[in-house]
């Protein structure tokens, strides 16, 4: 079938309420022409690793896509460069990891990510974006410490996908909801898919995904530790989304924004501490430490 006939057939199907057309994402060189906006440089990153344990596992592929964007609108313009390199971790890739990304020991033999090339690629970058930055940032800062000095954002954690009516925050599922598909779980392909999604409007608010992320960039994140909470409050804390910290031996949660932490302190005082005076630990993060394993600014607050 010719391309013209394929296009004609797809348009007919698309117009029918019983069908949905899903198109392969093609790597872009540009989204639009700049008509005078003051643009910044952003980079979308993705890693493939030998596993999920940051203490034992290692990066085996780093993919990056460098692009221009307007910080006021979230609109992307030119795609400036791409980066994709493999690295031999020095030990065998577990079969269960290869089953996900398809990267074998033979493909990695003798490969190493070029640190200088990464530094050059990131020169002048104002923002790093990953889908699940809590995973990628920790691995990248361990392997390439220059990532510590860059502001980070996360399209997984900083977009309310559920509230927007999208049932899963997995990247391939979000792409599907926007009518795209791609070869998932290879670094550069995931980067181009994420960049495409960043330029889509959210289903309910209509705001561009990248614009939504940029608006949350300046917000502080607060990790609050319910120190000294009674044992019989554990179910209340767990139901509210708190997690147990085995080192501090207390329950904690993470919140975004000043109003959220104020409301949480009030809730803790009345629902966990029974109105009595208590002291909680609050760790403050911004875009330079958010999603990393590095500590933020710690404060002790009496409530």
Cα(289)–Cα(148) distance, rounded to whole angstroms?
Answer: 8
pTM (predicted TM-score) = 0.88
Q: Which regions of the chain carry the CATH code 3.30.420.10?
A: 3-217
Closest CA to 210 of 72, 78, 83: 72
* 62 touches 187 (CB < 8 A): yes
pLDDT at res. 234: 94
Q: What would the two tokens of residue 21 be? A: 């057309």
Q: What would the two tokens of residue 284 be? A: 């403050």
pLDDT at res. 16: 76
Q: What would the two tokens of residue 257 be? A: 């924004």
Q: Does domain 3-217 have CATH number 3.30.420.10?
A: yes
* 146 touches 64 (CB < 8 A): no
Q: Pairing relation of β-strands 23-24 and 180-181? A: parallel
* 227 touches 282 (CB < 8 A): no
pLDDT at res. 1: 63
pLDDT digits (tens, 9 = 90+) for 61-94: 999 999 999 999 999 999 999 999 999 999 999 9
pLDDT at res. 99: 93
Q: Which regions of the chain carry the CATH code 3.30.70?
A: 221-302
pLDDT at res. 5: 78
Cα(43)–Cα(140) distance, rounded to whole angstroms?
Answer: 14
SS3 sequence of 28-77:
CCECCCCCCCCCEEEEEEEEEECCCCCCCCCEEEEEEEEEEECCCCCCEE
Q: What would the two tokens of residue 193 be? A: 């898919």
Residues of the chain with pLDDT under 70: 1
pLDDT at res. 62: 97
Cα(44)–Cα(67) distance, rounded to whole angstroms?
Answer: 8
CATH of segment(s) 221-302: 3.30.70
H or E, element range at 254? strand 250-256
């Amino acid at each position: 079938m010719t391309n013209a006939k394929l296009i004609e057939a797809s348009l007919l199907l698309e117009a029918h309420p019983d069908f949905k057309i899903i198109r392969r994402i093609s790597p872009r060189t540009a989204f639009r022409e700049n008509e005078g906006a003051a643009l910044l440089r952003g980079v979308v990153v993705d890693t493939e690793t030998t596993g999920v344990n940051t203490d034992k596992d290692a990066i085996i592929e780093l993919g990056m896509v460098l692009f221009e964007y307007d910080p006021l609108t979230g609109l992307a313009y030119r795609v400036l460069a791409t980066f994709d390199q493999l690295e031999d971790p020095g030990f065998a890739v577990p079969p269960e990891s290869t089953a996900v990304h398809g990267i074998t020991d033979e493909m990695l033999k003798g490969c190493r990510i070029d640190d200088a090339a990464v530094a050059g690629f990131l020169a002048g970058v104002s923002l790093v974006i990953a889908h699940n930055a809590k995973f990628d940032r920790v691995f990248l800062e361990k392997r390439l410490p220059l990532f510590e000095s860059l502001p980070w954002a996360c399209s997984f954690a900083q977009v309310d996908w559920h509230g927007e009516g999208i049932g899963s925050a997995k990247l391939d599922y979000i792409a599907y909801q926007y009518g795209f598909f791609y070869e998932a779980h290879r670094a550069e392909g995931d980067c181009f898919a994420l960049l495409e999604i960043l330029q889509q409007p959210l289903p309910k608010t209509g705001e561009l995904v990248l614009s939504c992320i940029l608006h949350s960039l300046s917000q502080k994140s607060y990790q609050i530790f319910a120190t000294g909470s009674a044992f019989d409050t554990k179910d209340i804390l767990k139901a509210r989304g708190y997690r147990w910290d085995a080192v501090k031996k207390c329950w904690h949660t993470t919140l975004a924004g000043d109003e959220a932490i104020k409301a949480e302190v009030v809730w803790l005082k009345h629902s966990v501490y029974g109105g009595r005076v208590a002291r909680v630990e609050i760790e403050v993060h911004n875009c330079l430490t958010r999603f990393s394993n590095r500590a933020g600014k710690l404060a002790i607050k009496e409530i």
